[in-house]
């Protein structure tokens, strides 16, 4: 990545009310749909996450940002970032991992992203079915869905 790409954001987004805004510098990885019971409860349905390297995410406004640790004994420690003012779900952060996951619906369009697959299908809701040809995993994809390209 050259200096101009590093100095201008690859993508930007934020919550519904504007109390949390972010920019992403560097690679923004394609979207993964998570069907786990925790994500479905947080989002109200399947969650769709893009991701970036932790150091490439810059918070431009964070007065509304609140972090929630959903399970106290979870390893690694997982926190979910949301706006305490409007309730938008913004981030999934496994502390200690290189990437942070960004709720795809909070990204400003156009994103240039595509959905690459589904994870945690063994916890999927019983009220929908998947009919696409994307990769599907009963649990985590162990990195198989995170491409090394934009």
Q: Is the pLDDT of residue 147 over 60?
A: no
CA dist 129 and 3 (Å) reads 45
Cβ–Cβ under 8 Å, residues 119 and 35:
yes
CATH number of 3-136: 2.170.150.70
In this prediction, residues 15-41 reach a mean pLDDT of 95
What percent of the chain clears pLDDT 70, i.e. is strictly above it? 88
Q: Which of 58, 60, 94, 96 is nearest to 78 (CA)?
A: 94
Q: Is the pLDDT of residue 2 over 60?
A: no
Query: Which residues partner with 49 through β-bridges?
Result: 32, 103
Q: How confident is the model at residue 74 (pLDDT cuts 50, 70, 90)?
A: low
- pLDDT given for residue 115 in this prediction: 95
- pLDDT given for residue 76 in this prediction: 72
pLDDT tens digits, residue range 96-128?
A: 889 999 999 999 999 999 999 999 999 999 999
Nearby residues of 88 by Cβ (< 8 Å), 6 or more positions away = 15, 16, 17, 20, 82, 103, 106
In this prediction, residues 19-37 reach a mean pLDDT of 95
- pLDDT given for residue 71 in this prediction: 73
Cβ–Cβ under 8 Å, residues 30 and 93:
no
- pLDDT given for residue 84 in this prediction: 98
């Amino acid at each position: 990545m050259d200096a101009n790409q590093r100095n201008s954001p690859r993508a930007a987004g934020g919550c519904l009310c504007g109390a949390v805004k972010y920019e992403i510098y560097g690679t923004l990885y394609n979207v993964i749909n998570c069907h786990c019971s925790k994500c479905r409860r947080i989002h109200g349905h399947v969650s769709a996450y893009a991701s970036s390297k932790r150091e490439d995410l810059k918070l431009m406004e964070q007065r509304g940002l609140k972090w929630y640790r959903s399970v106290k004994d979870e390893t690694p420690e997982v926190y979910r970032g949301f706006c305490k003012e409007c309730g938008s779900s913004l981030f999934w952060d496994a502390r200690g991992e290189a990437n942070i996951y960004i709720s795809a619906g909070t990204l400003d369009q156009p994103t240039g992203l595509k959905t690459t697959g589904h994870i945690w299908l063994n916890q999927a809701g019983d009220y929908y079915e998947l009919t696409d040809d994307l990769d599907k995993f009963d649990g985590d994809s162990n990195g198989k869905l995170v491409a090394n390209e934009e």
